[in-house]
Chains A and B, each alone.
Chain A
Amino acid sequence: MTFLRGISQIHDRTLDCFLRWACLLAVSSVSALFAQSPGEDFADTPGGVLEYQVISLSAPDAAIEAYLNAFSVRKWSIVMKSRGAFLGYAMGLELRAASREALFSSKNWAPAPDGPGFIVTPPTAALGALLPAERRELYRELARWSGNKPELWPLVFAHESVWHRLAAAGIPPPFLQRARDLCYPFGGGQALSDFSVLAEEFPDPEMLRRFLEIQSTVTTVLPRLKLRTAKSISETLAYWTSNHQNPFAQPMLEALLESETSDGVELISIMPSSARRLSFDIEPGDVSHDLQSASYIISANFATTPQKLGDLDAFDDWFATHFKPVESPYRYGDVLALEQPTEQIINYACAFVGGDLVFARDPVGLGLWRFMHLEEIIGRNPHFAAGAFTGLRYQGSKSAAKPLRN
C-alpha cells in the first residue's frame, strides 16, 4: 500500500522536516488562520450564479459520539524502527526530562497491531502536566503520522469568542479553565489535542458532548444554484457535468432549466452520491481516522463516475492516469490537491465547485465535509502552511501527479 510506503518515507525525513516546520510556522500568516468569514455572498460561474447562504454548522450527534469514543483514551502512533530510535530523536525536542520519562516509559509501548511502528498509551497525568510549549513541540512531531488525528487535525479555538460561546452554553468554568490549560499555540489561535485528559478528569459524557458540539460550531456557506442567471444552456450543462464526463446530473439540470423558482436550487441536488451523503456530515467511523485518501476519492467523484477499485494503490494508479494538471481558472469537478513546498506531509484534496468555493473535508476538529472557501482551508490548519493547491482535471489517460500517502 502506498499508505505504508509513505510512512517509511516520513521516518527518513522527519528530522529535516522538523526544522522546516519551525520556519514555516513562523512565517505563516497569523491573520489568515481560522478564517471563517464567508466573504462574498455569491459567485458567478459559467453555469449560473451560486448564491452563498450563510449557515451555522455543528458536528452531528453521531460524529460527536464517535469522537468521544475514539479519543477519551489517547493512544499515539509512532512509526519508527524502535523505541530507542524514537527516544533518541525525542532528545532533540524541548521536553522536560520528567515529561519524557513519564510519557515514553517502556511500559506504555506496544507494537502496532496492524502495521509497522508502535502504539504508545501516555498516562493521563503526564499528558495533563505538559506545558503548552511542550505540547506544541511534541504534537507537531506526532502529527507526522496519520494515526495521530488529534494532533494533525486538533480541536481549534480560533478566537476568544469560542470560549465565550462555551461559557454561555453552560459549560462549567473549571472545565473551561482546564481546557484552556491543555491548549497550545496553533498558528494564530490555540489547539486542543488532549481531549482524553478532559474526559478522564471530567467524566460527564453529557458535558463532554456539549463541549464538542459547541466547539465544533462554525459559520459556513450553503450554495444555491440560480440557473435562471445562466447565459447558455449548453455551457451550463457542460459546466456542471465536467464537460459531459459525469452526466448523471444532466436530467436534473435540464428539468431545472425548464422551470425554476426564484430561489434556485440547493447545489446538493446535482452533486454526486458520495458528496450528497457527506455534505455537512462525516461517517462516524471516519471520525477517528485521518483517511486522507478519502479526500481524493470523494473529490474525484465530481468529475467522473466512482471507480470500483480494490485498494488505494489501484486508486492512485487510476487517478494518476486520468487526472492532468490544469491551471486556473478551474471548473466544477476539478480536483485541487494540496502541495507543500517542503515535504508532502498531508495528502489532501478537495473538489472545486465555482467561484472560490470547494467541497472539502474541514481540516481541523472532527473533519466535517462542507463547502469551504479555498483560502479558508489553507488558513485553517498550520500544517497546511505555505502550501498551495494544484488543479487536476479529469481528462483521458495523460499522467498526473500520483497522490502520495502518509
Chain B
Amino acid sequence: MQLSISASPFIPCQWRLTRKLLGGILLVSAGQVISALSTQPDLPLTTPPEITSRAATKSIEWEYRTGPWGTLRLREINLKAPVAALARLQFTETRMWSFGSMSWPEIQTFLLEANLSESQLAELFLPDRRLIGKDTLINGIELSSDLLLSLSPESRLYIYNLLAQFPENSDHALPFVLPDQAGDEQLDLNPALREALIKLSYYRSGIRCLTDAKLLVPFVTDADELIRLKRFLVHSPSYTIEITRESLLQRQEVARYWSRNHGKSAHNLLRILADSPDLAGLDLVHFLPPLPQGILNRFPDQDLPPSINCFWTAFNFFSRNPDHQFLPLYDVVDQAAHRALKTLETRFVLTEAPYEFGDVIAFFTRQGDGRNPPELLHTASFIVDDIVMTKNGAGDFKPIALMPLDHVVSLYAWPGGIEVRGYRQRP
C-alpha cells in the first residue's frame, strides 16, 4: 500500500512507507523532486455533484456464522473515503528505479533478462538516464512515462520484484492492490484512463497490483474523476456485524468469548437479548472495548489523531488511555514499527490459531533469500472467526474496518509473501 500525502505533517504508518518517500528524495536532486511533483496537474477540486434523487438501494442478505462467539450476521459494506481526505492523497513518484548498491554491469545483466524489447532496453541504457553514483551512493535509472507504460506485465513483475528489495522503491514492495480486472468496465473512468490502468497493473502471486499510480494522473480529465480514481485505488470494504439472539443457545460460551472487552459487560448485553424477544440482534459495536467501539468503520477525523496507524489501533485495542508511542514520529527513519515489534516481544506471547478476541495479528515480510530478518509491516486486531479489525495504512483516507484476515494479507503484496503470526497480551 503505497500512499503518501502532500499535506504535512503527515507521516505514513509503516516505516517502510516513509522510507519510500525518503528514498525518492535521496535518489534525485531537489530540483528533480519539484519537477516530478509538478507533473501532477493542479486540478481544481470541485465538490461532488449534488445528489438529490434517491438512488436505488442494493438489497443484500445477511451472511451467518456460528462459533464460540455466538451466531453472527454480517453484511459487507464499501466505505468511501471523504473527498477532503482523498484530495490530500498524493501519488508518489515511481519514475526512478533504485538498484541500491548493484553495479551497472549487474543492473544491465538483470535488465537483459527481463524480456524487454530492443527499444525499451535502448532507452534504459541511455547514459543520461543512469543515476550511477550521481550525488548519492545509490545506483538507479530515471525512466520516461512512456517507457513505464509500455512494460509488459511479465517484465514489470520481474523488474518490480527485484526493485522491491531496495527500501527506496517501497511502491514496488507494497503496491496498490486492486480488485480483479473484470470489474474495470464498471468503473466510471474515461476509456484512456481505464486503458492506462490496465497497462500499468500487474499480477503478483495472483494479486492485481499497481505501482505507478502517478502515471495515471495525466489521463484524468477533471477533479471529480481524480477523486473517483483515488477512491477506486483505496477502496475499503468492511462489514457491519450483529450478534444475533441465536447466540443465547450457547450463552455462557458467548459471554466468555466477549468477556475480554473491558467495556460493556457481555453478560449484560446478552441479558438484553434474552429479555427482549423482539430483538433480532445487537450490533458488534456494543461488544467492543471502548476505543474500537468509538472508531470502528470510521475514517480518522478531528476526533482521532490524524496519523493513527495500524500499530496504534491494534496495540490500543483494550486501552482506555491510548498509548501514542505507536504513532509515527517525525524522525528521519520512522521507528513506529520498531516500537511495535519491541512491544510484541516484551508484552505479548506468540500464540497459535484459533485466535481470541483482541489478539494482535502481526504481518511480517517473508524474506526469500534469508539474508534480511523479517520486517513487521502491519498489525490488526482479531475479532471473530476469520475477521480482524484493521487500519490498512496510515492516512485519513483509510478507515478502521472489519475485514477477513486473508483479504488483509492480500493487500500487502510483498514479493516474498507475508507471514502472519498471532500474539496475545501477557496476563
Contact = CB atoms under 8 A, between A and B. Distances in A.
Interface band, chain B: 35 or more
B81 A56 contact: no
A257 B55 contact: yes
Contact of B51 (A53, A234, A248, A272): A234
Interface stretch (B33-41, B288-296, B386-394): B288-296
Q: Kindly name the residue among B57, B61, B265, B282 whose own CB sees the greatest number of chain A CB atoms within 10 A.
A: B57
A277 B275 contact: no
B64 interface: no
B265 A262 contact: no
Interface string B77-95: 1111110000000000000
Contacts of B61: 261
A251 B80 contact: yes
B297 A252 contact: yes
Contacts of A56: 272, 275-276
Interface string B41-78: 00000000011111101111110000000000001111
Interface band, chain A: 35 or more
A277 B293 CA distance: 6
A201 interface: no
A280 B51 contact: no
B299 interface: yes
Interface string B223-263: 00000000000000010101000000000000000000001
Interface string A22-61: 0000000000000000000000000000000111111011
Given A55-B276, A57-B272, A248-B303, A277 B263 contact: yes
Interface in A220-249: 222, 227-228, 230-234, 247-249
A250 B82 CA distance: 8
Contacts of A256: 77, 240
A263 B61 CA distance: 10
B57 A269 contact: no
Given A60-B265, A233-B53, A276-B294, A268 B75 contact: no
B60 A260 contact: yes
A390 interface: no
A258 B78 contact: yes
A305 interface: yes
Contacts of B285: 266, 268-269, 276
Contacts of A272: 303
A248 B294 contact: no
Contact of A261 (B52, B75, B263, B265): B75
Given A251-B81, A305-B301, A276 B242 contact: no
A233 B297 CA distance: 20
A269 B283 contact: yes
A323 B152 CA distance: 60
B193 to A, nearest CB: 23
Given A60-B265, A62-B265, A273 B293 contact: yes
Contacts of A222: 276, 279
A185 interface: no
Contacts of A54: 276, 278-279
Contact of B80 (A53, A55, A254): A254
A151 interface: no
A277 B54 contact: no
A227 B299 contact: no
B57 A258 contact: yes
A61 B53 contact: no
B137 interface: no
A250 to B, nearest CB: 7
Given A54-B276, A56-B272, A305-B301, A234 B265 contact: no
Given A250-B82, A255-B80, A258-B57, A233 B399 contact: no
A285 to B, nearest CB: 11
Nearest to A57: B272
Contacts of B272: 55-58, 280
Given A268-B286, A281-B264, A234 B50 contact: yes
B82 A266 contact: no
B124 to A, nearest CB: 43
6 contacts: A53-B279, A55-B279, A233-B54, A252-B298, A259-B78, A261-B60
Given A60-B268, A233-B52, 17 more contacts: A55-B279, A56-B276, A222-B276, A233-B54, A234-B52, A248-B303, A251-B79, A252-B77, A254-B80, A255-B78, A255-B80, A256-B77, A257-B57, A258-B78, A259-B60, A261-B60, A277-B263
- List the 9 closest pairs (A to B, CB-CB), nearest first: A273-B294, A56-B275, A255-B77, A55-B276, A266-B283, A305-B302, A60-B268, A259-B58, A228-B57
